[in-house]
Structure 1
Amino acid sequence: MHSYIRPNTYIVLRLPSGILKLLEILPNTNISIGKFGTFQANSLLGRPYYLTFEILDKEGDSNSELRVVPAAELHESSLTTAEDDTPAESTDEPADGGAEFDIVGDNGEIIMQSNRLTIDDPSRQTLTMEEIEELKKAGTGSGKEVIARIMKSHQAIDEKTPFSLAKYTLRKSRKYLRRFTVFPADVNMLSEYVLDKEAHRIMELREENLGLINSWANIHCAESSSIVPSSCGKGMIGGGRWLVVDDTGGLLVASLAERMGLLYPEESEDEASGKEEEAIESKPTEESKSNGIPEEDAMVIDTPAEGTSETTKQEPPEAPKEANTTTSESNPSKPRTPRAAHIPPMSAQTNTLTIVHSNAQPNLGYLKYFSYDATASNPKHPLHTHLKTLTWLQMLYPEDDPGYQEPETLSDDLLSTMKSSKRGTYFRKRRRWERVKRVVQETRAGGFDGLVVASVMEPATVLRACVPLLKGGATVTVYSANVEPLVELCDYYSKERRTAFVSRQNIDTTEQSQDANDSTKALGPDEAIDPDFPVNPTLLLAPSLQTARARQYQVLPGRTHPLMTSRGGAEGFLFTATRVLPVAGRVEARGTFRAGKKRKIQVEPEKGG
């Protein structure tokens, strides 16, 4: 991820009121942030993130300027409060005798001030709304002058307690201060923005939920991980490959890709400088336009090569044809750069994400904020080769999917007689079929390092089809906004249900029942689902259910506590388990087992009377 603001990228602005504004920064355009003002987008390009800017209006100019607010000015109130918090006994100033206090020390020290006699009435503010609006229009600063004038015009400002004064100042700053902070449009900021706007589209996934999912699923960059061919020869085992079911619009995929180092495209400095040089060279000069010289020959005449003679440089404009000939001979045209090699999509072998979706195209709309489009991906983006998609129909019933059927093969003689458009369509169909076939075979062969699910579908049906595709020791992570589906899932993989499942296997001795209930074989989609065992409970161990929620705090003098008006909504729960490979056949305990040596008891003979 870049550390400075680049053109044609998305950024997040945090306004003084706390509202987030997500926008794409385009060169030579204006950015409006409502009542706080408007400024040019070019004033942000090239600047680092996480800076706070002030909007300053210039007199006689409609364009506003931006000023970087230093850290000392941002935290001025906190630093001033810390310096002023000096105990009364260390100073010679007496306590105020005119005010009433709830708690006063023996030596007259003010311990806690009361505001029970303070009359908080709007009439105590001498400024009217019309006068405040005139101050806003007349002022060219960031709004600090308006705030200072409002506080100065308040008749009861001296009667406020430190907490009341800090809260009053904060409220006025959020209303009149013309500042904003620039943040990158990363996964955390995007989740916070969407959570306030359309929480249902991301299943109310919060930042702490995404952190738990990445930790329990063991998501990491596995570019150099080793892979082992599977027993069937069509797939592989390991290699940093994760199976994902995402119904959050691509937010979960973006979080996983960020941890794997696949979310942000890399652009070298040489490429960026080369593009700038090409743009400069492609612009014709004003002299060439005035002389009527074509644009393709303008740079050749205005900037002759080193080997050009002085007579050629000083040749009069009456003979432009000879000048062009002489210059073109001394400055031959550059060789044409070869076309870049075609990079097939979904071709990576390690460090990949395989998305299983239920629609014709995967719903990955939120990846557009990271320069990736699933319908027309950029070959330079890492997700172009490391993100693989297939439908549930292709994974469960590949023969019924039209995209899995091989198109008709045409001979070379017939292709030579076809039009170029039809020939291109034919090869595109062949490449699409080869890609679908390769992804389907790799997915059905299994060997994934983990399974991550955030879907509105019933979790048991998803795990029934996906858990057998995991390798031994892989982690299963399922997110749900509500706890009820995950509680049911914990019961399906509980120890008691697993014991009953194994006992039923031992009782069934017929070959048909053994094939249908083999612990190493996944239940097929065509087989009837047993209501007592909708999933195979021997495939997962140590199921657990957990949740986490970060609470925002109000930090003001004497009033530090959680916010009472925090956002509600679903809590969000997480189911985790570990994939195991149960032993085939019947398990019996053999051998002798002794808990310890038996104690020898000596019986004493009874004494005769």
Structure 2
Amino acid sequence: MHTVIASNSSPPTDPPSTSTLEATASPSTSAPGSATASASAFASTSTSAPRHAGNDDAPAPILPRHVIREGDNVLLRLPSTVVKTVKVTPSGTISLGKYGSFKASHLVGLPYGPTYEILDDGALKMVPRQVVAEIEETEANNQEITATGAQSLTYDDINAFRSEGLSGRQIIEKQIQQHANFDKKTEYSKDKYLKRKEAKYLRVFTPIEPTVHNICEYNFEKQSAKIRELRPDTLSNMMNMANVRPGARLLVVEDVHGMVVSACVERMGGQGRLIIINDFDSPPDIHITESFNFPPSSLEPIGSLHWGMTDPSWVPADLPLEVSQAVLEKTKNSRDIAKIKRRKAAFELMENTRKDFFAGAFDGVILATPYEPLGVLDRLLPYIAGSAPIVIYSPHQATLSEAYQSLRTSPHFLSPTLSEPWLRKYQVLPGRCHPEMNGLGHGGFLLTTTRVFDNPEANSHKVKVGKKRKLENGDGDGERKGEGVKKGKLEGDGEEEEAAAAADPPPEGMGEVV
């Protein structure tokens, strides 16, 4: 089944580079945005030859991003629509339960998106994609079908087929042949029957690239409380509203285990500065970033501080950072020397991060924390640049409603807006397009605003427009003078206008200037 998403949010931040424009179907559930590989680009993954681990001692070539590489984290979608995370190691084995197992090295060099079949010897074979055909209307119906006794094959018969080495596709064909009422089913019912059997007997899987959208969707469906019910479309809205881009300077306060940080890292591309503020005197918990295949250069902009370090009066504890040459010669334990050097490097990194923080001029702030947002903004306010967007996420509307009312009366923020993202998935098949029966869970709420600087010396000026009326005697001078009054009111300063009006009052018959 293929689905499309109807949403008021923007598309995922990192769509696949190649997409299939025609409606297609495979024996398993396809990944969203499955890539279609050409035969010339992926000759090693031909549908006619299974994939085995290579024995060549030559150095491994540098593979493109959308091809599985050694050491990558990969999402595998099974026929039952369950998604499993695996890591591609040189000597590891990936077990998929009843669907079989294979060596992890067999995945190296394969593209994301196509469906692969696990053969009896553990090799992988790409399954050719199939074009979805139009279902012809028939006069068949399910009124004469009896649910009991229609299938003559027993559980023991199916196990016997498996012991004989029959593939999952052959077992499904046997079941169709022995089904007494299969021909009486409607075409739609036959298609559903085949999908249920394929999910049960076919030994196939689909590798999915660990993009921000896919990782967020995986965590949202499996353990939404871990990321505070942050839905993929909501995260996409946050990135757009915060104007996350290469070269940006961002402040992030999050408690979603690195989901927001990962989205920022993917968009920034290793350029800019990203400072995370957490609660403890230890590195922040952003372990979700390990699920991605980010190069080290993409993680270089990240720095972290705890709330105590954001106070200018904070003083760190004394650390033995300088080690004299005499101490180095006297100390025999190299482990102690290495420990001191690591502490010195950590201290220098912390000092550089504090300098960046107190330099201010951050052009974006993202909050996804259970703390009261007004207190967090009050602490960060001096370091936020003018016109910087501020995005606050919370799964609870009441928390953001109170902040919204306070921001409306604050001179430091402009146009606060409280919104709720909406998302619906659709099944898209010939003659069967409709919303999915099971809707998605709640995606949280967003509060957005813009940082502005208040000038208490500025005076508000109301534009006053003069009414132009023609004199009774038809003299055109009055009309021209009226135009002059109107022009002066639009362009002049307040005091000069009043002085000019007193020196040369409008002639009789002119309208009152309001």
Instruction: Say whether the fold is shared (TM-score over 0.5).
Output: yes
Aligned partner of 1:135 among 161, 165, 176:
161
CA contact (8 A) 2:140 2:184 kept: no
The code of the aligned residue for 2:434 comes to: H
Kindly report which structure 2 residues correspond to 1:547-558, keeping only aligned pairs within 5 A, or say none. 547-555=420-428, 558=431
Pair 362,118 (structure 1): closer, same or farther in 2 beyond 3 Å: same
Matched, 1:243 2:251: yes
Q: Distance in 1 between matches of 2:99 and 2:355?
A: 56
1:147 aligned residue: 172
1:307-338: CA deviations, max 9, x gaps?
xxxxxxxxxxxxxxxxxxxxxxxxxxxxxxxx
Pair 579,415 (structure 1): closer, same or farther in 2 beyond 3 Å: same
Moved segments of 4+, more than 6 Å: 600-603
Pair 556,165 (structure 1): closer, same or farther in 2 beyond 3 Å: farther
Aligned partner of 1:18 among 81, 93, 98:
81
Pair 166,427 (structure 1): closer, same or farther in 2 beyond 3 Å: closer
1:199 aligned residue: 224
2:507 aligned residue: none
Q: List alignment gaps of at least 5 residues for structure 1.
A: 58-62, 86-109, 223-239, 263-349, 373-379, 499-536, 604-609
Q: Distance in 2 between matches of 1:410 and 1:38?
A: 54
2:303 aligned residue: 388
1:531-580: CA deviations, max 9, x gaps?
xxxxxx11110111223233222345644322222343x33111111111
Matched, 1:572 2:444: yes
TM-score, scaled relative to structure 1: 0.62
CA contact (8 A) 1:53 1:66 kept: yes
2:466 aligned residue: 596
Q: Distance in 1 between matches of 2:356 and 2:95?
A: 49
CA contact (8 A) 2:210 2:293 kept: no
Q: Distance in 2 between matches of 1:67 and 1:413?
A: 62
For this pair of structures, how many residues does the alignment match? 407
1:419 aligned residue: 331
The code of the aligned residue for 1:70 comes to: P
Q: Distance in 1 between matches of 2:306 and 2:434?
A: 48
1:119 aligned residue: 145
Q: Secondary structure at the match of 2:386?
A: strand
User: Displacement, 1:214?
Assistant: 1.1
1:193-242: CA deviations, max 9, x gaps?
222322111112221112111111111112xxxxxxxxxxxxxxxxx211
Q: Distance in 2 between matches of 1:203 and 1:55?
A: 36
CA contact (8 A) 2:145 2:184 kept: no
1:301 aligned residue: none
Pair 589,29 (structure 1): closer, same or farther in 2 beyond 3 Å: closer
The code of the aligned residue for 2:445 comes to: F
Kindly report which structure 2 residues correspond to 1:187-586, keeping only aligned pairs within 5 A, or say none. 187-222=212-247, 240-262=248-270, 351-359=272-280, 360-370=282-292, 381-396=296-311, 398-399=313-314, 404-405=316-317, 407=319, 412=324, 415=327, 418-419=330-331, 421=334, 422-494=336-408, 498=409, 537-555=410-428, 558-568=431-441, 570-583=442-455, 585-586=456-457
CA contact (8 A) 2:230 2:443 kept: no
Q: In terms of Rg, which structure is larger? A: 1
Q: Distance in 2 between matches of 1:415 and 1:546?
A: 61
CA contact (8 A) 2:275 2:303 kept: yes
Q: Distance in 1 between matches of 2:354 and 2:81?
A: 46
Q: Distance in 2 between matches of 1:423 and 1:64?
A: 49
The code of the aligned residue for 2:352 comes to: R
Q: Secondary structure at the match of 2:300?
A: helix
Q: Percent identity at matched positions?
A: 31
Pair 66,478 (structure 1): closer, same or farther in 2 beyond 3 Å: same
Q: Distance in 1 between matches of 2:288 and 2:264?
A: 13
Pair 35,593 (structure 1): closer, same or farther in 2 beyond 3 Å: closer
User: Displacement, 1:20?
Assistant: 0.4
Q: Secondary structure at the match of 2:79?
A: coil
Q: List alignment gaps of at least 5 residues for structure 2.
A: 1-63, 474-514
Q: Distance in 1 between matches of 2:218 and 2:111?
A: 21
Q: Distance in 1 between matches of 2:359 and 2:233?
A: 33
Q: Secondary structure at the match of 1:448?
A: coil
The code of the aligned residue for 2:70 comes to: P
Q: Distance in 2 between matches of 1:358 and 1:543?
A: 27
CA contact (8 A) 1:167 1:556 kept: no
TM-score, scaled relative to structure 2: 0.73
1:93-148: CA deviations, max 9, x gaps?
xxxxxxxxxxxxxxxxx776543x2334131111112212222332343x111111
The code of the aligned residue for 1:595 comes to: V
Pair 602,257 (structure 1): closer, same or farther in 2 beyond 3 Å: same
Pair 41,546 (structure 1): closer, same or farther in 2 beyond 3 Å: same
Pair 476,128 (structure 1): closer, same or farther in 2 beyond 3 Å: same
User: Displacement, 1:64?
Assistant: 2.2
Pair 121,111 (structure 1): closer, same or farther in 2 beyond 3 Å: closer
User: Displacement, 1:588?
Assistant: 3.1
Q: Distance in 2 between matches of 1:175 and 1:540?
A: 56
Matched, 1:2 2:56: no
Pair 42,409 (structure 1): closer, same or farther in 2 beyond 3 Å: closer
Q: Distance in 1 between matches of 2:139 and 2:466?
A: 70
Q: Secondary structure at the match of 1:165?
A: helix
The code of the aligned residue for 1:566 comes to: G
CA contact (8 A) 1:241 1:352 kept: yes
Q: Distance in 2 between matches of 1:557 and 1:598?
A: 66
Q: Secondary structure at the match of 1:361?
A: coil
The code of the aligned residue for 1:243 comes to: L
